[in-house]
Structure 1
Amino acid sequence: MSVRRLAEPQFQPQTFTFNEEFAASAQKWIAKYPEGRQQSAIIPLLMLAQEQNGWVTKAAIESICDMLGMPYIRGLEVATFYTQFQLKPVGTHAHIQVCGTTPCMLRGAGELMDVCRAKIHPEPLQLNEEGTLSWEEVECQGACVNAPMIMIFKDTYEDLTPERLAEIIDAFEAGKGETVPPGPQIERHFSAPAGGFTALGDEAAVLKGTSTGVKASASTKEKASAKAPASVKTKTPSKAAPIKAKAEKPALDDKNRPAGIARPDVVDDLKLISGIGPKNEGLLHELGIFTFAQIAAWKKAERTWVDGYLSFHGRIEREDWVKQAKALAKGGVEEYIRVFGKKPV
C-alpha cells in the first residue's frame, strides 16, 4: 500500500466540531459498543466527520480521539490506513469515485475516467479550477451487474455511458446534483435484467421437470400468467439483432450550425484540440471554422450540430472542446498546460 499522508498545513483548519445533527449520530455510534470498548467507534465517527466536512482533517482526527479517549496516533493510523477516508480537500459539489474493477473496466470504466480527465482534471484526487469537482479510481463498489458505475457521496450511478456521465458531472458542477436520480441510468429496475423480467415467467417449465411427472394444465398456465407482473414481456428469439439505422448528418442550412467566417490570414492549429485530426480540421475549415475563439464560443446546440456532422457520438462534450479552445485562445500551449496539466496531443 502506498504511503498516505495528511494534507499540507495550509489546507488544515485549526478546529473541528460536529454540528448538532452529526454530534447526535456520533453519540448513537459510541453507545453501540460496550463500556471500555468505545474506541471501536473510530471508523464510523471518521466517516461522519468526512460526510460533514467533505474530507478528514487533522483537527477532526484529534477531536474524535478526544471523544473516544484514545491517543492521536491511533486515530491517525486508522485514517491513513483505509482509503475510504479522503485526507485532503475534494470537490465541494462532488467527488466522483469511478469503479475500476474488472466488470466495470470491461464495460467502459476506462472511457468514464477519460470523461473525468477531460471535464475535471487530468489527474485523480485533484480539484478542478473552481474547486467544485474532483475524481478518483476506486475498487469494487458492489453493483457489478449494472457496470460501469460511479459513486458520488452515498449514491451510486450505474449503467453509465460517457455521454451520461458528462451530463451528471455538468449537473453537479452547476449545483443541481439533486436533480440526477441515482441508480441505473437506463430502463432497468434496480438490478433486474436489462429489458425486463424473463426468468421463470411460466410455471409450466418448472412443473414439467418435477419428480411426480405432473404436467401443467391449462389452468396452471393461466394462473402463472395472471401472477406475472404487468411489465413482463415474453421475448421471441430472433435469428439476428435488428440493424439500427445510421443517423443522418444534420443539414448544412440548419439553424444550429455554428457561424463560419472567411479564412483569415492567420489560422489557428485546431489539431491542438484533443479529438481534432487533419481530416476533421479540414472539415471544420469547410464549415468556416478556423480559430480557437470560434470553438470556444459554441453553445450547446452548436456543439450538438457539429458532433452530429462529424459523427462523433458525444465526443465533443466528453473531451470538452470548448474548455480546450478557451485555454488555447487565451494563452496558447502554455495556458493549456496550466489548465490541463499536460501538453495538447
Structure 2
Amino acid sequence: MSTLTNTIFSPELAARFDKLVTIYPLRRSALVPMLLYAQDEVGYISDAVVAEIAERIGILELDVRNVLSYYSMLRTKPAGKYNVQVCTNISCMLRGGYELLDHCKHKLGIGHKEVTEDGLFSLEEVECIGACCWAPAIQINYDFHDNLTPAKVDDLFQIYRDGQGKDVK
C-alpha cells in the first residue's frame, strides 16, 4: 500500500499513519491505534475516516466498522471539546458514582452521550476507568480526576470552561 496523496488528515497524522503500518507484522494491527489518533484529530470516526483508514491498511470498510462497533471508546458522533466520562463500576458506584453522574447531568444539562449546546462538554457513563482505589472518579479527555465530590466536579468544570484543564491545547 502506498502513501495516499489526498488525505483528510493533517500532514503530521498522515505521516504517523504511514509509519504505523510499517512497524506491525500485519498492517491490520495498526487499525485501533489509527482509529484512536483519527478520533483525537477529527473528534469522532466519520465515514470519511473509516474509508481512508481502510484504504491505508488495505482492508474493507466493513472490517473497520466491525472493530469500531466493538470498542466503546471509539465514537461515531462528535463529542464535546471535553468528553466527561463518569465511572459507575462497583468501586465508584459504592462511593457515589451514580450520584456524581446525576450531578454532572444536572450541572451540564445533558444526558448520556449528549453534548452541551456550546459544544464544550459531552457526557457519558462508563464501566471502569481503572481508578478504583481513588473512587469516585471521572476522566475528562485523557485526564483522570479522583476522590470527587459534586463540589469538586463543579470546580473542575469551571477550570475546563476557563481553558485551564490539564489537556487543554
Q: Which has the higher helix share?
A: 2
Instruction: Say whether 1:81 aligns with 2:70.
Output: yes
Q: State the TM-score, normalizing by the size of structure 1.
A: 0.45
Q: Does 1:30 align with 2:21?
A: yes
In 2, the alpha carbon distance for the partners of 1:179 and 1:133 equals 14
Which structure 2 residues correspond to residues 93-108 of structure 1 after superposition, within 5 A? 94-108=82-96
Aligned identity (percent) is: 35
SS at match of 2:91: helix
8 Å contact 1:104–1:144 — kept in the other structure? Answer: yes
C-alpha distance in structure 1 between counterparts of 2:137 and 2:105, whole Å? 16
8 Å Cα contact 1:149-1:158 kept in structure 2 = yes
Residue of structure 1 in register with 2:145 after alignment: 157
Deviation at 1:121, TM superposition (A): 3.0
CA distance 1:76–1:110, change in 2 (3 Å): same
Structure 1: state its 5+ residue gaps.
1-14, 181-345
Contact 1:97 1:136 in 2 (8 A): yes
Q: Which TM-score applies when normalising by structure 2?
A: 0.88
What does residue 134 of structure 2 align with?
A: 146
CA distance, structure 2, for counterparts of residue 16 and residue 24 of structure 1:
11
Q: Which residue does 1:294 correspond to in 2?
A: none
Query: CA offset at residue 149 of structure 1?
Result: 0.7
Instruction: Name the aligned partner's letter for residue 90 of structure 1.
Output: A
CA shift for structure 1 position 16: 6.0
What whole-Å deviation, never above 9, does each CA across 1:70-115 have from its counterpart, x for those lacking one?
11111111112211101101112x0101111000111111121122
Question: What SS class does the counterpart of residue 166 from structure 2 fall into?
Answer: helix
Change in 2 beyond 3 A, CA 1:140/1:178 = closer
Runs of 4+ displaced beyond 6 Å = none
Preserved CA contact (<8 Å) 2:38 2:49: yes
Contact 1:55/1:90 (<8 A) preserved: yes
Pairwise CA distance, 1:20: 2.9
On the 8 A contact 1:97/1:138 being kept in 2, the answer is: yes
| Greater relative contact order, per chain length (Cα 8 Å cut-off, separation 6+) | 2
Normalized per residue, which structure has more strand? 2
With over 3 angstroms needed to count, the CA separation of the structure-2 counterparts of 1:131 and 1:114, relative to structure 1, is same
Amino acid in the other structure paired with 1:135: L
**How far off is 1:17 after superposition?**
2.1
Q: Does 1:19 align with 2:10?
A: yes
Query: How many matched pairs?
Result: 163
Question: What is the CA-CA distance between 1:179 and the residue it aligns to?
Answer: 8.6
